[in-house]
Amino acid sequence: MSKDNSIIIYGAEWCGFCHTAMRYLDDKKVKYTYIDVDKDPAAGQEAVDKSGQRGIPVLDLGGEIVVGFDRPKIDAYLKSLQLA
């Protein structure tokens, strides 16, 4: 089974952990899509639907949902794609 190599970060400008997650991926030169849930309430609801909770950031790692900046889970996903 091949993994989807898409990464989506649902976050907000005021969220420090959101910026940490984006900076971490930027430093690794990994592409992702950032969605500001304050500017797109429908996307905010999508993040809640995916994660089952209201916290951010919500990272959709090719279908695996991670809430918060969880470096071990992010690294495991990147390693599975041979990006780390």
Q: Which pLDDT belongs to residue 83?
A: 74
Tens-place pLDDT, residues 42-78:
999 999 999 999 999 999 999 999 999 999 999 999 9
Q: Which CATH superfamily is domain 7-80 in?
A: Glutaredoxin (3.40.30.10)
Question: Where do the structural domains in the chain lie, given as residue ranges?
Answer: 7-80
Tens-place pLDDT, residues 25-36:
999 999 999 999
Which positions ≥6 away from 73 have C-beta within 8 Å?
A: 61, 64, 66
Is it the case that residue 2 has pLDDT exceeding 60?
no
Enter the pTM of the model.
0.90
Q: Which pLDDT belongs to residue 4?
A: 58
Give the pairing type, strands 33-36 and 7-11.
parallel
